[in-house]
């Protein structure tokens, strides 16, 4: 199914007899993919709805790709301050549904911190919106945040409204080779530096400083022993695991992942990252057990279907009954990607 | 019958308040024009005590209202008839500070400013800074998703809460989120923050904390009118500067702030107070640019504080603006609405017209960077009908905000005060969907009933034809 308008999407959902999986750019399909479901693609819901550069607010349909949106914003010297992988393919709705992110999360948070409004269609065809078109509103429940990371199990996202930021005048990347990211975070804080992004790739730690030239130069000067370098290309491997733990637990995270011979992209100031590997299900499960013991988590974001018995999310959080209650209330027929989410939600 | 003895056995005699003269203390929050006497007030000291109180109240069929410091301006903590009012002000411990992992765990009764005070010796702070920060509690901030002047750059409470421990309406306790990023599952923290006490009672909060910026630069600029000041704000934002805060006051608000705090400000049509913070070299650059842009926009005078004390005083002038209006009027009503930043000049003109039409003065104080207006409607409660006129004027201002694509509340919440305006901002289907979320957490709607949503509807109701709900038939819930 490929609706061309929110109204048509509502009608399609209302009439759909069986399980549906909502697809944007298809970059995050793996987590909990339901094989026998019908696909609803949002790629034709791709219009710009409203853009007010002076208000730094943009509203677009969910099927628009991030790259298309950024191109439009850049004409006004603005951007949506997120940088998840594959912007040419990833759609706004998909990015919200998977709460996907990139290194800019260091400064700007993830999409959940930049979304200000949303329109959705529930599986019974009810159109609903939450938030608004202004950067600040607390009227009603925060439906935009609830949709972030919900993997299309609660509703179909039709449009989203974001706060956008000015593109910075100057940007540089500094590289600390084979460094200790935990120590570097301490150093950043001691020196009161404000990196827009900080990314460790197998302990090669990259800083991106952005801003007006004076501020960038001052920060560069404080780390004068570091070399300037290009920003690293994203890693790719058959299996991508999202791993999270407290930032200071990085050594234990590395230890847990060691048997996977994974390459690790890690956001040292946030405590989250991606392990890229070719490992088998059993060793992934073992790594997850160690991360859970730390209070962390491991989610399988990409894997060959040969690894099908793999548990994507791991054990559900203690709030599982609430999660299930939310699912039951918003999708009482259980049509939207049933069983896809953590704990079989 | 209120099971006083059972409550007393849980919280102790001193924390179980039921004498009529003592209950009066709790009959309103910061929105003092509404008053309802609670059935009983309980001041539990632990999560377990909160849970026990909730269970007892539910068994007795009492609605439950949570209250922090009671500074809210939308009646979010207004009691409902016969309710158990659970005050969290005794739960004021800082439980954990972890600088290495940039989080802090506190009980809900901890005062907002005390969080930053606890962090100050380490050179850290907590970003959200509502004007009431010296008295408002973190639990109340979570309920209302409180903002503050500096949320323009740093975001609101929801951007700084990593997780909560919460007592649900059945008395069970659940942990949601936490200091580790992206716990698998729905972002319940995101929906709980700002839910105005309808989804549960938060008894612990994990806060994201920040290292203090290297520098802060503040300036104060005066303008002939709000038009020039508004143009200055637009020019500053358009230049790519993201101010930490940019606040505007009009003539009447300036007059009030002067009367209340003794700040030495001139009598002018408008003033801006702006902070930039971050890297020192960048702050020098952006603040001198912003000053220049203000001059180009028609600033009469620009003042830069000589030292921290003078800066404090400037901010005190701004943050005490609401109370200050009490110096120039017998009564006043605070409004809270949001408009797109670009519409500020037009909206202020419309408010001025309304003010003239109603014959009531309106002072404007607002967070200009994000278009969050706080019109203060001045009236004299002794004059027959004037309070009602002020209420009508407030309502008209909200409608102006909505006509310009804005919101009926930017940070004070819907509470009891604005529930009737929700259908003007949201469709019936939007509200039904939010109601479904509420029902997932609190199917009996025992928590803070009558707030946020305009018309009572039981969980499981279909819109349209009335059919009694099973819970209603069994006597478990009542339609009010």
What's the gap in Å between the CA of B138 and the closest CA on chain A? Answer: 16
Residue partners of A164: CB distance under 8 A and separation at least 6: A56, A57, A58, A73, A78, A79, A80, A81, A114
Q: Could you give the percent of chain A with pLDDT greater than 70?
A: 97
Mean pLDDT, residues B201-219 taken together: 97
Residue B266 sits in the same domain as residue B230: yes
In a domain, B378, yes or no: yes
Look up the CATH number of the domain holding residue B344: 3.40.462.10
Burial label for A1, CB within 10 Å (0-12, 13-18, 19+), is: middle
Q: Which residue of B has its CA nearest to A186?
A: B100
Classify the phi-psi angles of A147: left when phi > 0, otherwise alpha if psi is within -120 to 50, otherwise beta: alpha
Please name the residues in contact with B375: beta carbons below 8 A apart, sequence gap of 6 or more. Answer: B335, B337, B351, B362, B363, B364, B394, B397
pLDDT at B470 over 60: no
* Residue numbers in B near A331 (CB within 8 A): none
Look up the ipTM and state it: 0.97
Last residue of a domain, one of B211, B230, B264: B211
CATH of the domain at B37: 3.30.43.10
Does some domain include residue B458? no
Answer whether residue B13 is part of any domain. Answer: yes
- Report d(CA A181, CA A199) in Å as an integer: 9
Q: Are residues B134 and B231 in the same domain?
A: no
B145 and B291 share a domain?
Answer: no
Q: Using CB atoms, which residue from A215, A245, A270 is nearest to B282?
A: A215
**Domain assignment of residue B438, yes or no:** no
Lowest mean pLDDT among A238-247, B61-70, B295-304, B314-323: B314-323
**Minimal Cα–Cα distance from B266 to chain A, Å?**
30
Which residues of A fall within a CB distance of 8 Å from B155? 109, 113
Q: Is residue B286 domain-shared with residue B357, that is, in the same domain?
A: yes
Instruction: Name the closest residue on chain B to residue A298, using Cα atoms.
Output: B184
CA distance A139 to chain B (A): 6
The predicted model scores a pTM of: 0.95
Give how many domains chain B has, as a whole number.
3
Give the C-alpha separation, B157 to B375, whole Å.
23
Q: Is residue B376 part of a domain?
A: yes
Greater confidence (A96 vs B479) lies with A96
pLDDT at B458: 77
Q: Report residue B40 as tokens.
A: 């009983």
Cβ-based contacts of B441 with chain A (< 8 Å): 322, 325
**pLDDT confidence of A227, banded at 50, 70, 90?**
very high
Say whether both B202 and B307 belong to one domain.
Answer: no
Tens digits of residue pLDDT in A92-139: 999 999 999 999 999 999 999 999 999 999 999 999 999 999 999 999
pLDDT for residue B33: 86
B440 to chain A, closest Cα gap in Å: 5
pLDDT in tens, A176-186: 999 999 999 99
CB contact under 8 A, A109 and B412: no
User: Does B464 score more than 50 pLDDT?
Assistant: no
Pair B326, B199 in one domain: no
Select the more confidently predicted residue: B466 or A81: A81
Q: What tens digit of pLDDT does each residue of B73-123 get?
A: 999 999 999 999 999 999 999 999 999 999 999 999 999 999 999 999 999
Q: Contact A99/B187, CB-based, under 8 Å?
A: yes
Nearest CA in chain A to B287: A212
Q: How far apart are CA A27 and CA A23, in angstroms?
A: 9
Q: Is residue B48 part of a domain?
A: yes
Q: How many CB atoms lie within 10 A of CB A187?
A: 15
DSSP H/E element including B56: helix B47-59
Question: Which residues of chain A make contact with B431, given a CB cutoff of 8 A?
Answer: 140
State the nearest Cα–Cα gap between B286 and chain A, in angstroms: 8
CATH, residue B206: 3.30.465.10
Q: Do B190 and A245 touch (CB under 8 A)?
A: no
Mark which of B211, B229, B259 sits at the end of a domain. B211
For residue B74, give its domain range.
4-87
Q: Is residue B309 part of a domain?
A: yes
**pLDDT of amino acid B471:** 53
Cβ-defined contact of A137 to B338 (cutoff 8 Å): yes
pLDDT at B239: 94
User: Which of B151, B372, B437 has its CB closest to that of A326?
Assistant: B437
Q: Do B187 and A217 touch (CB under 8 A)?
A: no
Domain's final residue, options B87, B109, B131: B87
Please judge whether B184 and A314 are an interchain contact, meaning their C-beta atoms are less than 8 angstroms apart: yes
- Chain A with chain B: Cβ pairs closer than 8 A: 262
Domain co-membership, B303 together with B364: yes
H/E stretch holding A4 reads: none
Q: Please indicate, yes or no, if residue B420 is contained in any of the structural domains.
A: no
């Amino acid at each position: 199914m490929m609706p061309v308008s929110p109204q048509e999407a509502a009608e399609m959902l209302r009439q759909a007899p069986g399980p549906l999986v909502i697809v944007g750019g298809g970059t995050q399909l793996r987590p909990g993919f339901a094989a026998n479901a019908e696909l609803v693609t949002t790629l034709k819901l791709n219009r710009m709805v409203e853009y007010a550069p002076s208000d730094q607010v943009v509203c677009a349909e969910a099927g628009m790709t991030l790259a298309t949106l950024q191109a439009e914003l850049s004409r006004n010297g603005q951007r949506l301050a997120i940088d998840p992988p594959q912007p040419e393919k990833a759609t706004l709705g998909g990015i919200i549904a998977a709460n996907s992110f990139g290194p800019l999360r260091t400064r700007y948070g993830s999409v959940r911190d930049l979304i200000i409004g949303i329109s959705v269609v529930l599986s019974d065809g009810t159109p609903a919106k939450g938030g608004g078109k202004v950067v600040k509103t607390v009227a009603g429940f925060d439906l935009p945040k609830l949709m972030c990371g919900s993997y299309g199990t609660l509703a179909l996202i039709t449009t989203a409204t974001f706060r956008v930021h000015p593109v910075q005048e100057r940007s540089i990347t500094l590289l600390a080779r084979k460094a200790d990211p935990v120590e570097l975070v301490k150093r950043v804080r001691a020196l009161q530096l404000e990196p827009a992004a900080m990314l460790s790739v197998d302990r090669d730690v990259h800083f991106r400083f952005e801003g007006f030239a004076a501020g960038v130069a001052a920060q560069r000067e404080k780390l004068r022993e570091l070399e300037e370098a290009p920003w690293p290309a994203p890693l790719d491997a058959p299996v991508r695991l999202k791993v999270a733990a407290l930032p200071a637990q990085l050594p234990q995270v590395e230890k847990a992942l060691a048997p996977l011979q994974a390459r690790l992209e890690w956001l040292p100031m946030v405590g989250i990252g991606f392990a890229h590997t070719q490992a088998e299900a059993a060793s992934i499960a073992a790594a997850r057990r160690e991360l859970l013991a730390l209070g962390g988590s491991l989610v399988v974001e990409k894997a060959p279907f040969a690894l099908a018995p793999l548990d994507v999310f791991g054990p559900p959080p203690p709030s599982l009954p609430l999660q299930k209650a939310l699912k039951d209330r918003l999708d009482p027929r259980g049509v939207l990607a049933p069983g896809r989410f953590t704990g079989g939600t | 019958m209120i099971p006083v003895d059972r409550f007393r056995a849980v919280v102790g005699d001193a924390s179980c308040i039921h004498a009529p003269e003592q209950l009066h203390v709790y009959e309103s929050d910061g929105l003092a024009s509404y008053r309802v006497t609670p059935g009983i007030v309980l001041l539990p000291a632990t999560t377990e005590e909160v849970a026990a109180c909730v269970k007892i109240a539910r068994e007795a069929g009492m609605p439950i209202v949570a209250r922090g410091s009671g500074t809210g301006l939308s009646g979010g903590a207004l009691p409902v008839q016969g309710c158990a009012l659970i005050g969290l002000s005794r739960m004021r411990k800082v439980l954990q500070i972890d600088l290495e992992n940039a989080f802090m765990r506190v009980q809900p009764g901890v005062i907002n400013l005390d969080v930053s005070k606890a962090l100050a010796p380490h050179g850290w702070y907590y970003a959200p800074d509502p004007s009431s920060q010296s008295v408002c509690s973190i639990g109340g901030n979570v309920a209302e998703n409180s903002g503050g002047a500096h949320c323009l750059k740093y975001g609101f409470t929801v951007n700084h809460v990593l997780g909560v421990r919460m007592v649900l309406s059945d008395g069970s306790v659940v942990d949601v989120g936490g200091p580790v990023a992206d716990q698998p599952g729905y972002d319940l923290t995101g929906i709980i923050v700002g839910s105005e006490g309808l989804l549960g009672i938060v008894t612990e909060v994990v806060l994201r904390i920040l290292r203090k910026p290297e520098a802060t630069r503040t300036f104060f600029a005066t303008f002939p009118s709000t038009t020039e000041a508004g143009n200055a704000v637009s020019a500053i934002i358009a230049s790519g500067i993201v101010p930490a805060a940019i606040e505007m006051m009009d003539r009447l608000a300036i007059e009030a702030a002067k009367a209340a705090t003794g700040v030495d400000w001139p009598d002018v049509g408008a003033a801006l107070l702006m902070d930039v913070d971050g890297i020192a070299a960048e702050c020098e650059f952006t603040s001198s640019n912003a000053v220049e842009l203000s001059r180009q926009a028609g600033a009469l005078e620009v003042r830069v504080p000589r030292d921290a004390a003078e800066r404090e005083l400037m901010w005190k002038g701004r943050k005490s603006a609401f109370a200050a209006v009490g110096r120039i009027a017998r009564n006043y009503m605070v409004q809270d609405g949001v408009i797109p930043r670009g519409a500020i000049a037009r909206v202020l003109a419309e408010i001025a017209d309304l003010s003239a039409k109603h014959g009531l003065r309106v002072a404007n104080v607002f967070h200009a960077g994000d278009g969050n207006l706080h019109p203060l409607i001045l009236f004299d409660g002794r004059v027959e009908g004037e309070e009602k006129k002020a209420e009508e004027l407030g309502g008209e201002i909200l409608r102006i905000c909505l006509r310009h694509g804005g919101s009926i509340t930017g940070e004070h919440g819907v509470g009891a005060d604005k529930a009737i305006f929700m259908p003007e901002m949201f469709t019936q289907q939007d509200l039904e969907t939010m109601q479904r979320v509420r029902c997932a957490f609190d199917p009996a709607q025992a928590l803070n009933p009558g707030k946020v949503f305009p018309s009572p509807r039981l969980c499981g109701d279909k819109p349209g034809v009335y059919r009694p709900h099973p819970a209603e038939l069994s006597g478990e819930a009542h339609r009010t």
